[in-house]
Amino acid sequence: MFTNPSHDEIRALLKSVRTIAVVGLSDNPARPSYRVAQAMMGLGYRIIPVRPAQTEVLGEKAYAQLTDLPEAPDLVDVFRNPDAVDGIVDQCIAIGAKRLWLQEGVVNEPAALRARAADITVIMDRCVWKDAHSLL
C-alpha cells in the first residue's frame, strides 16, 4: 500500500529541489497547473513546461515529453489524468528522474509503487504549492 513521505521528508525534498518539470502545464492562467507553476516560480523554483501543444509557457521553453528534456529535472510534477501516470513513470525511469509529485486528484497507486520500486521518491494526491507554502 502506498503512503506519502513524512512532512519532514517532503520539507527536505522541497528544500533540495531547484528545477521542476511540470507535466500538463497549461498556458491558460485560469488553470490550476498555471497558477501553481507561477506560484512556485515566485518561490524561486525554475519551471520547465512539459506539454505537447505548447512551445512556451510562463516564459520558459516547453517540451513535448519528459524524454525531450536536455537533462533530468530535480522534480517531475504531474497535472494529468491518473491513467496517464503509467507512461509518465516510464519516462521518469528513462530519464533518471529521482522525484515524482502527483498533484491533488492524481492518484494511481500501482504506478506510484512502480516508481518507488525504481528508486523514485513519490508524493501523491498533494499540491506542491500548498506544501511549499506551508512547510517552508
- Round the CA-based radius of gyration of the chain to a whole number and report it: 13
CATH code, domain carrying 123 = 3.40.50.720
121 in any annotated domain:
yes
Q: What is the pLDDT of residues 76-125, one digit of tens each?
A: 999 999 999 999 999 999 999 999 999 999 999 999 999 999 999 999 99
Question: CA 31 to CA 17: how far, in whole Å?
Answer: 23
What is the structure's pLDDT at 136?
A: 82
2 in any annotated domain:
no
47 in any annotated domain:
yes
